[in-house]
């Protein structure tokens, strides 16, 4: 991997506070997020690789994005037919402590429809 890439790759791994790997530095170009195991609905498999679901990815990215960036991401997911507003809300409810949730819910409100509440 090219460590000079413009954006780091984010990887989430299950870990506990007493995991000795938590004190290790992240590899160059990679940001490691150590979390408790994710809810099964927050996981999917793409081409044989375990990944966070689209809903969980939107929730996670809301922590790092401006409202305009988040709106663009959600619009792109909708355009691609991948947006499930209800799934994003359920995923967000599992991380109710995040400071970005009011912004996320505001953006989701712009995309909620009768067919995608």
Q: What is the per-residue pLDDT across 92-102, written as a single tens digit (0 to 9) for each?
A: 999 988 999 99
On whether the pTM is more than 0.85, the answer is no
**pLDDT (tens digit per residue) in 53-84:** 999 999 999 999 999 999 999 999 999 999 99
What are the boundaries of each domain within the chain? 1-37, 38-117
Written in H, E and C, the secondary structure of the chain is CCCCCCCCEEEEEECCCCCHHHHCCCCCCEEEEEECCCCHHHEEEECCEEEECHHHHHHHHHCCCCHHHHHHHHHHHHHCCCCCHHHHHHHHHCCCCCCCHHHHHHHHHHHCCCCCC
Residue 60 makes CB contacts below 8 A (sequence gap 6+) with 10, 12, 33, 52
Q: How far apart are CA 73 and CA 55, in angstroms?
A: 11
pLDDT number for residue 3: 53
How large a percentage of the chain has pLDDT more than 90?
57
pLDDT number for residue 99: 94
């Amino acid at each position: 991997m090219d460590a000079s890439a413009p954006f780091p790759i984010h990887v989430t791994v299950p870990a506990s506070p007493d995991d000795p790997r938590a004190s290790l530095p992240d590899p160059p170009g990679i940001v490691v997020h150590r979390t408790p195991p994710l809810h099964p609905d927050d996981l999917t498999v793409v081409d044989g690789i375990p990944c966070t679901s689209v809903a969980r990815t939107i929730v996670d990215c809301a922590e790092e994005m401006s409202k305009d960036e988040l709106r663009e991401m959600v619009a792109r997911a909708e355009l691609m037919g991948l947006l499930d507003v209800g799934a994003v809300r359920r995923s967000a409810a599992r991380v109710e402590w995040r400071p970005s949730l009011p912004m996320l819910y505001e953006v989701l409100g712009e995309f909620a429809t009768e067919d995608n509440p």
